[in-house]
Amino acid sequence: MSTVKCLIAAVVKKKWSLFQLDVNNVFLHGDLDEEVYMKLPLGLFVSLSYSSVSALLIKDLGSLHYFLGIEVNYLPRGVLLNQKKFVTDLLHEFICSDVSSVVSPLELNNKLHADVGDILPTPEKYRSLVGKLLFLTHTRSDISFGVQHLSQFLKSPRFPHMCAALHLLRYLKGTDDLGIFYSDSADMFVHAYSDSDWAACPETQIYYIFLGDSLIGWKSKKKPVVSLSSVEAEYRAVNKVVAELIWLSRLLTDIYVPIYSPISVFCDILAAIHIAKNPVFHECTKHIEVDCHLIRTKLLEGFIQLHHVPTAQQLADVLTKPLPGALHHSFRDKLKVLSPFNFKGGVGLSAYLASGPKLKE
């Protein structure tokens, strides 16, 4: 989905049109990994002059409005991707359509543990719910940390875990129309935020990647490696986002989006930046794997540039821990997770196209 979101963000910024096509029986035209031998039936004749030509039946579905369960809302200043229908169906499935809403995905002081509480008699329901919430994170970065936290208990879910999952559904009840907004602003500079939660065991690595002001990639993931300090944890997290940026830069180049180097990467621990900029064999860093020093190579090449950002302005902080309602909403708005009602001037494809190109020549 990162590829799709990146493509849509670039299309919106370039003021191109989005169309959807359907290839009939596309699964029959895939390349096989193994060799298959078959005998042609009698009477079949294939002209050699057309042996390298394939004909596919393609159906034009018009402008893109719905794909893979994701709704595309055209706004005067960009495009909003959300999954309102999916959220509505999910609330109905788990009998939460009439529950009261809450202001944050997870409760602040609710600590979940793998061995606390009674085991659920039907763990399949919990696994099904968490799996569907994972799919919802494609357009809802604001719930990524909560869903990642709930995913840790899929093997043997207990009642406290299910209660936390239902609490997240109550949050979705009041925010069912939120989605990720891609603006048509001319800003095409790629930048990223990286963070880690060293106190967690195992630690959590987090990053956000933006194309201008449009969020095109994010991740909140536990890592099996135990870091010896918060500095090392942050250094490893930066290495992770640098690797993602290498792939992303190649993707953007393939779709003719210019990459302006160096790419700015923001983290909130100065010591991690100093380690990256000072390639000295040090007693405190000698145990770090060689592949983690990819950061140094890309710094020397001019591919990235590291910047310090105060913790209060660290956007990736929303993926490290539960936040109070007001602070969570503030970060959510900065990540462009918005509702169609945040925009004035109407909603529709005609208004989107009428807004005209705004890119500087």
β-bridge mates for residue 81, sequence order: 72, 180
User: Angle at which helices 230-254 and 2-13 pack, to 10 degrees?
Assistant: 60
pLDDT tier, 29 (very low <50, low <70, confident <90, very high otherwise): low
Give me the mean pLDDT over the 185-199 stretch.
84
Mean pLDDT of 163-172: 95
Rounded mean pLDDT, 238-255: 90
Give the tens place of pLDDT for each residue, 101-110: 999 999 888 8
Residues 319-356 pLDDT 10s: 677 888 888 888 888 888 998 887 765 444 444 444 44
Rounded Cα–Cα distance for residues 335 and 47 (Å)? 56
What integer best gives the mean pLDDT of the chain?
Answer: 83
Tokens of 301: 């090449």
Distance, CA of 216 to CA of 9 (rounded, Å): 7
Q: What are phi and psi of 302, to 5 degrees?
A: 80, 15
Give the whole-angstrom CA distance, residue 180 versus residue 209: 13
Residue 110, pLDDT score: 82
Q: Is the pLDDT of residue 53 over 80?
A: no
To the nearest whole percent, how much of the chain has pLDDT over 90?
37
Q: Look up residue 134 and give its two tokens.
A: 């994972």
> Average of pLDDT values for 83-104?
93
Whether 92 shows a pLDDT value over 90: the answer reads yes
Place of tokens 């963000």: 9
- Residue 95's Cβ-side half-sphere holds a number of Cα atoms within 13 Å equal to 1
Output the pLDDT for position 353. 44
Structure tokens that stand for 125 in this block: 């329901």
Count the neighbouring beta carbons within 10 Å of the beta carbon of residue 219: 20
* pLDDT for position 354: 47
pLDDT tens digit sequence for 293-314: 788 889 989 999 999 988 778 8
pLDDT at 327: 86
CA dist., res. 145 & res. 137, Å (int): 10
pTM for this structure?
A: 0.79
Q: Using an 8 Å Cβ cutoff, are 106 and 208 in contact? A: no
Check pLDDT > 70 for residue 249.
yes
Query: Please, what are the domains in the chain?
Result: 1-74 (no CATH), 83-174 (no CATH), 186-338 (3.30.420.10)
Q: How sure is the predictor about 203, in pLDDT bands with cuts at 50, 70 and 90? A: low
Tokens linked to 137: 């994170």
Tokens standing for 169? 């559904």
Structure confidence at residue 358 (pLDDT): 37
CB of 251 closer than 8 Å to CB of 6: yes
Question: What six digits make up the tokens of 12?
Answer: 């919106």
pLDDT at 47: 60
Q: What one-letter code names the amino acid at 25?
A: N
Kindly give the pairing relationship between strand 263-267 and strand 214-222: unpaired
**Measuring CA to CA, which residue among 226, 209, 303, 213 is closest to residue 3?**
209
